[in-house]
Amino acid sequence: MRLLATFVAIVVSLILSDIGWAEVPGIVTGSRPQARVIDETGTLSAADSAEIERLARSIQETTKADMMVVVIPTTAGESHRRFATDLFNRWQLGDAARNDGLLLFVALADRKSEIILGDGLDSPGQRSASQRIMDQVMVPHFRAGRPGRAILDGATRAVTDIVGVSAEQPAAADIPPVPASTSASLVEKRPEPILQPLVEPSSPATPTPVPTEDVLRPEPIAPAQPWIPPTRFQRAPETTSDPVGMMILLGGGAAAGAGGIAAFRSLYRYRRRGCPHCGTAMILLAEGEDDTRLERGERLEEHLGSVDYDVWTCPVCPGVEKVRWGALFTRYAKCPRCRSVTKSQTISRLRAPTQVSEGLERIDERCLHCGWEKTSERTIPRLPEPTNSSVDWSSGSSSGGFSSSSGGFSSSSSGGHSSGGGASGSW
Residues 281, 287, 288, 289: what is their CA dihedral angle, to the nearest 10 degrees? 10
pTM, full prediction: 0.43
Q: Identify the sign of the CA torsion 29, 31, 32, 37.
A: negative
CB atoms within 10 A of CB 7: 10
At residue 415, φ and ψ (nearest 5 deg) are: -85, 175
Q: What is the pLDDT of residue 280?
A: 92
- pLDDT tens-digit profile, the chain (427 residues): 555 555 555 444 444 444 444 567 777 777 888 899 999 999 999 999 999 999 999 888 888 899 999 999 999 888 999 999 999 999 999 988 889 999 999 999 999 999 999 998 988 889 999 999 999 999 999 999 999 999 999 999 999 999 887 766 554 444 445 444 444 333 444 444 444 444 444 445 555 555 544 445 555 555 555 555 555 444 555 455 566 666 676 767 766 776 778 788 788 888 888 998 898 999 999 888 888 889 999 999 989 999 999 999 999 998 899 999 888 888 899 999 999 999 999 998 888 888 778 888 899 999 999 999 999 999 889 888 766 443 343 333 333 444 433 333 333 446 889 988 999 999 9
Distance of CA 256 to the CA centre of its chain: 39
**Of the candidates 40, 61, 45, 47, which has an alpha carbon nearest to the alpha carbon of residue 159?**
61
The Cα–Cα gap between 31 and 289 comes to 82
The Cα–Cα gap between 271 and 280 comes to 14
Q: What is the pLDDT of residue 139?
A: 94
Cβ–Cβ under 8 Å, residues 189 and 170: no
In order of their start, the domains of the chain are 2-170 (3.10.310.50), 268-326 (no CATH), 343-378 (no CATH)
The Cα–Cα gap between 158 and 67 comes to 9
Cβ–Cβ under 8 Å, residues 147 and 104: no
The Cα–Cα gap between 115 and 104 comes to 5
Q: What is the pLDDT of residue 97?
A: 87
Q: What is the pLDDT of residue 338?
A: 94
Q: What is the pLDDT of residue 96?
A: 87
